[in-house]
Amino acid sequence: ENFLQKTSAPFSTNSYDAFISPNALNLSSFTKLMKKLQEIHPEVSRDKIVDALLEVRKNNKGILSGLSINSIVERTSIIL
């Protein structure tokens, strides 16, 4: 029981974790994407960027894989 508690501790259920999935983007790509979007849109909160990314994913049949980072940035920027 203690082992399960210790191994599950690093995982949380916030919106960022919900967004990052093996079918969407790996963590490195997500980090690059967020950095780029925050540089382009410094006035926009991280939460709003994540919401826009979720909308891009929804508009692309529920997936982001197959889209280039630049394409995702462009589509997200239009929403923002």
pLDDT of residue 18: 47
Question: Alpha-carbon distance 17 to 13, whole Å?
Answer: 6
Q: Is the pLDDT of residue 22 over 80?
A: no
22-31, 44-53, 68-77, range with the lowest pLDDT: 22-31
Arithmetic mean of pLDDT, 20-29: 58
Arithmetic mean of pLDDT, 38-42: 94
Question: Alpha-carbon distance 45 to 6, whole Å?
Answer: 32
pTM here?
0.64
Measured between alpha carbons, how far is residue 7 from residues 1, 22, 36, 52 in Å? 10, 19, 32, 31
Tokens 């994540």, residue?
A: 50
Question: What percent of the chain has pLDDT above 90?
Answer: 46
Arithmetic mean of pLDDT, 54-78: 91
Question: Alpha-carbon distance 58 to 1, whole Å?
Answer: 38
